[in-house]
Structure 1
Amino acid sequence: MNSAELKATLEAMIYAADEPATAAQLSTALGLEKPVVRAALDELVASCTSDDRGIEIREVAGGFKLYTKPQHHDAVRKFIKSLQPPLRLTMQALETLAVIAYKQPVTLPEIMEIRGVNAGGVIKTLLDRRMITTAGRKDAVGRPILYRTTKDFLMRFGLASVGDLPSMKEFEQIARAALGEDDIIAPNEPEAGELGVAGHDPAYHPDAASAGNAPETETAPPDDASSAKA
């Protein structure tokens, strides 16, 4: 198999995979050394950057996946909306998702303390949408369930790992770009007794809101982390 054939084969395999395809998976399937496959992947990724290509290959969630290029998002979004209803999240769901993303693994009581409202219904929605999943139980009174984000979350927001999370403000911008302005239901009025939350209080940041309350294993990403584009 020459270089051109290898790159074409890799592109087809990445397209066919439901989950991001790792270099190890691809090399095993092809019976080739991983460095050879990795070099071909790098060339394939570079070749997709030309203006005459409508798609690009990104390294996300530990593997490679095909995405439409940002400059074509408006046209693609209109087309997809004409085919099926879009994924919709309320502002409360988006805010709760942000708390989980930055403080994971985190429990429902901790989320409620940060947001100041009951988030049980929102958690169920995020579980149903496969944006979050359970991550065991915290070694504390009552052993509450811990929640973390999923690979679907990483793919939806175009992130390679949770370590690539940008600042909270940048995350909100990425969320709107990834889901589409029209895909996020208009913000509801702040619930009674609600503390500052992202989108309502510009000074809000989960680190400050939950200081001293998050599990010791949780770490928030630096504010200067690079922003990923979905």
Structure 2
Amino acid sequence: MPRLSNETALFMSLKAKIEAIVYAAEEPVTVDQIFGVVADEVSAEQRAQQADTALPLETHDDIRPHPMPEPHVEAEKNSADAKQQRERGRRRVREILEQLVADYDSPEHGLEIRQVAGGYRMSTKPEHHDVVRSFAKSLKSPIRLSLQALETLAVIAYKQPVTAPEISEIRGVDCSGVLANLIARKLITTAGRKQVIGRPILYKTTKDFLLRFGLKDLNELPSIEEFEKLTSAQTDLLTVEGGVADATGVPDVPDQAEGGQRQRTSSSNGENSNAEGHYEEKVIESSRSE
């Protein structure tokens, strides 16, 4: 495979990132929103382009010393340069978006990128709506987990096999009701009994747990330190009016076992709160163009 130039590699990476942003966005995403995320990548690409341009030979006038500009003049020039740089960056993002629109317009793609309400959005093409609706109806509803259930599941995942008293000691509350809930959802199962007084039941995660959380095996679990950092950094995304989104992107309400009151929540990653809704939203959006 031929080696790509630095400029080409940067462009391909930038294009892929913009494509991912459009796909992940719940609402139509604007050029300014995208540029705000990929500004560093756009600047890197522009620097690579400038580096590939041959510099002219210095003349006698070029090496002659020039008087230093006044501070306010220099500040105004820097401000103007920064403004021009941002505008060039926005134009570059718009160019790449138009390339993506053209790429997805080809018949081998089942998706399209369209301009909607001043932004860009990815959706299914109208001619494929019937098959998408049929597929969406065949999907299982996503599992909804409360904060209490997620905490209990995390303890089991990292400490398994583990007993109910050990889980309750770590969490500081009784977890028997939550355990029954997780077993019913097939996220955990029993793993025999611990050979101590009373022989309490041991619990472990299931294959369904790996499937729901997109893990190849338990070795792919982040370290506890990494997990805590991720949780801390994304608290504002995961918690919405007391609900917490699980790996399927759907928040839930507290379990009845812990006296929680059901509350209305919204998705953390922009997907609808049922399996069919995620696809229906994309289908309905693109059908407006028919």
Normalised TM-score (structure 1): 0.43
Structure showing greater Rg? 2
The structure richer in helix per residue is 2
Q: Taking CA–CA contacts closer than 8 Å with sequence separation of 6 or more, which of the two structures ends up with the larger relative contact order?
A: 1
